[in-house]
């Protein structure tokens, strides 16, 4: 293709400028040039507790969302292979045309049964689950009240709604209450939160939020991408853990975590599901989930429901890692579930700590702005049911050493003073 990177002539502004001059993209390029990139690290094998990376080294993997360890489970792999052989590599059409298979219907039925809802709607990703649901909610004059730290797809879906978006401060009930009180009396209201916040592992105060919904007549939507398979007696997430599942109007999930696949779903009432199927762009105009991913997710869901000990082991490993990190002098942020966040501060400090841990044999996620507020970077650690206690202890030692080295100049200056 010809070089089209030059600014258009005749004084016209370049509409590609936000891409070509993106400061975050330039920062990523700088990291790549320096050999210090923390993103898109290629692997050479499945996301196992100890994973083979493209540089030939094996590392303890604390950067995967494979919470139940099912992404390389032989039963899940065989279910994907069976679906592949029977239905082919692609549905080659949207759900409203030729893209529905018996597998899609079975997974929707079993997800709805798992959550105790009338219906479930599959989407091609967890992001599309939030886009499909939230973009179809609200009319002009209605308001979607969204936690400021909710997943980016929640904010994107809410922005596509015909209603107005109002962000409230993260996990701040007073901020939410003030926004509810300021609404026009006839305005429809939807409160949208993450059950478990993906970057920090914090949980939403769902009991209190459900009470606000009861008092104000607001609807409640909860993204359980990181709660499914981890929290709650049956693995239904923070909504079950908090005892509010029956008071939630819709739950969205992603299959790429505990269900060892790719895709998403919305669990809600039958009437709401019918409305999504009739009007949501990610459902109507997107090719249906490929058969192999549906087969894998269905097998993983059945394992989740029949083997609760996997969830118990995930929670035990998370508790062990939290304790080991605290004992090593780097206590993580308060939270529940499989996501554990160790504060690092500014972006460069986060990258430095990530590199030290990576070089010492532990892979985790370096999280900085815009995924978290500026100056609030973290090393994000995600545990699996299949990690061992020894791996948790070793990982805590490595991560703690990587984070503590950030404090050395400060500690030296205090000692001199």
Q: Which of 306, 323, 348 is the last residue of a domain?
A: 306
pLDDT of 222 > 80? The answer is yes
What string of H, E and C letters represents the secondary structure of the chain? CCCCCCCCCCCCCCCCHHHHCCHHHHHHHHHHHHCCCCCCCCECCCCCCEEEECCCCEEEECCCCCCCCCCCCHHHHHHHHHHHHHHCCCCCCECCCCCCCHHHHHHHHHHHHHHCCCEEEEECCHHHHHHHHHCCCCCCCCEEEEECCCCHHHHHHHHCCCCEEEEECCCCHHHHHHHHHCCCCCCCEEEEEECECCCCCCECCHHHHHHHHHHHCCEEEEECCCCCCCCCCCCCCHHHHCCCHHHCCEEEEECCCCCCCCCEEEEECHHHHHHHHHHCHHHHCCECCCHHHHHHHHHHHHHHHHCCHHHHHHHHHHHHHHHHHHHCCCCCCCCCCCEEEEEEECHHHHHHHHHHHHHCCEECEEECCCCCCCCCEEEEEECCCCCCHHHHHHHHHHHHHHHHHHHHHHHHHHHHC
Domain shared by 254 and 380, yes or no = no
- Is 3 domain-assigned? no
Query: Which of the following is catalytic: 151, 226, 241, 376?
Result: 226
Q: Is residue 51 part of a domain?
A: yes
Q: Which of 279, 306, 333 is the last residue of a domain?
A: 306
- Looking at the structure, tell me whether residues 290 and 184 fall in a common domain: yes
Here the CATH number for the domain that contains residue 230 is 3.40.640.10
Q: Is residue 170 part of a domain?
A: yes
The count of structural domains within the chain is 2
Q: Are residues 229 and 347 in the same domain?
A: no
Contact 281, 252 (CB under 8 A): no
Q: Among the listed ranges 25-29, 61-65, 127-131, 199-203, which one has the minimum average pLDDT value?
A: 25-29
Asked whether residue 17 is domain-assigned, the answer is no
- Is 376 a known active-site residue? no
Residues 274 and 349 in one domain: no
Is the pTM for the entire model greater than 0.85? yes
Task: Name the active-site residue from 125, 153, 198, 293.
Answer: 198
% of the chain at pLDDT higher than 90: 82
Q: How far apart are the first and last CA of the chain?
A: 61
Q: For position 336, which CATH number holds?
A: 3.90.1150.10
| Of the listed ranges 2-11, 44-53, 364-373, the one predicted with least confidence | 2-11
Instruction: Say if 417 falls within a structural domain.
Output: no
Does residue 205 share a domain with residue 286?
A: yes
User: Are 198 and 213 in a shared domain?
Assistant: yes
Final residue of a domain: which of 306, 331, 349? 306
Within this chain, do residues 254 and 354 fall inside the same structural domain, yes or no?
no
Tell me: do 286 and 341 sit in the same domain.
Answer: no
Q: Is 198 a catalytic residue?
A: yes
Query: Where in the sequence is the domain holding 282, given as residue range(s)?
Result: 74-306
Statement: residue 5 has pLDDT above 70: no
Residue-wise pLDDT tens digits, 280-313? 999 999 999 999 999 999 999 999 999 999 999 9
Statement to judge: residues 331 and 405 lie in one domain: yes
Q: Does some domain include residue 414?
A: no
User: Average pLDDT, stretch 186-205?
Assistant: 96
Residue 226 is a catalytic residue: yes
Same domain, 99 and 209: yes
Over the stretch 56-101, which tens digit does the pLDDT of each residue have?
Answer: 999 999 999 999 999 999 999 999 999 999 999 999 999 999 999 9
Residues 138 and 235 in one domain: yes
**List 114, 241, 257, 387, catalytic entry:** 257
Q: How confident is the model at residue 2 (pLDDT cuts 50, 70, 90)?
A: low
Q: What is the Cα–Cα distance from 144 to 414, expressed in whole angstroms?
A: 48
- Whether 14 is covered by a domain: the verdict is no
Would you say residue 4 lies in a domain? Answer: no
360 and 398 in a single domain? The answer is yes
Per-residue confidence (pLDDT) for residue 411, from 0 to 100: 45
Q: State yes or no: pLDDT of 331 exceeds 50.
A: yes
pLDDT beyond 70 at 340: yes
């Amino acid at each position: 293709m010809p070089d089209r990177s030059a600014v258009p002539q005749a004084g016209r502004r370049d509409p590609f400028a936000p891409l070509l001059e993106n400061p975050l993209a330039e920062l990523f390029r700088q990291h790549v040039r320096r050999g210090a990139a923390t993103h898109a690290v290629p692997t050479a094998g499945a996301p196992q507790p100890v994973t083979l990376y493209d540089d030939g080294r094996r590392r303890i993997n604390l950067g995967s969302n494979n919470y139940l360890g099912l992404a390389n489970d032989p039963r899940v792999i065989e279910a994907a292979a069976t679906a592949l052989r029977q239905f082919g590599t692609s549905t080659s059409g949207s759900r409203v045309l030729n893209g529905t298979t018996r597998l899609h219907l079975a997974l929707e039925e079993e997800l709805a049964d798992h959550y105790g809802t009338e219906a479930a709607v599959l989407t091609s990703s967890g992001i599309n689950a939030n886009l499909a649901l939230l973009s179809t909610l609200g009319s002009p004059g209605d308001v979607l009240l969204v936690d400021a730290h909710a997943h980016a797809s929640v904010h994107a879906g809410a922005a596509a709604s015909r209603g107005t978006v109002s962000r409230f401060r993260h996990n701040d009930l007073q901020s939410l209450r003030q926004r509810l009180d300021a609404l026009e009396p006839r305005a429809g209201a939807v409160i949208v939160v993450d059950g478990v916040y993906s970057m920090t592992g914090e949980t939403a105060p769902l009991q209190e939020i459900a009470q606000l919904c009861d008092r104000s007549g607001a609807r409640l939507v909860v993204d359980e991408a990181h709660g499914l398979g981890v929290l709650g007696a049956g693995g239904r997430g923070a909504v079950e853990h908090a005892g509010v599942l029956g008071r939630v109007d819709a739950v969205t999930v992603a299959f790429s975590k505990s269900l060892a696949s790719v895709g998403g779903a919305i669990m809600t009432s039958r009437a709401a599901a019918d409305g999504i199927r009739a009007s949501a762009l990610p459902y109507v105009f997107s090719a249906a989930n490929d058969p192999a991913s549906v087969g894998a997710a269905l097998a993983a869901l059945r394992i989740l429901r029949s083997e609760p000990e996997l969830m118990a082991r995930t929670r035990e490993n998370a508790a062990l890692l939290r304790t080991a990190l605290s004992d090593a002098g780097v206590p993580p942020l308060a939270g529940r579930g499989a996501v554990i966040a160790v504060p690092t501060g500014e972006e460069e400090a986060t990258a430095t700590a990530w590199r030290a841990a990576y070089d010492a044999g532990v892979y985790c996620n370096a999280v900085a702005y815009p995924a978290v507020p500026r100056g609030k970077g973290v090393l994000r650690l995600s545990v699996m049911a299949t990690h061992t206690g020894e791996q948790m202890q070793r990982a805590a030692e490595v991560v703690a050493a990587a984070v503590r080295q950030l404090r050395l100049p400060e500690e030296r200056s205090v000692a001199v003073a």
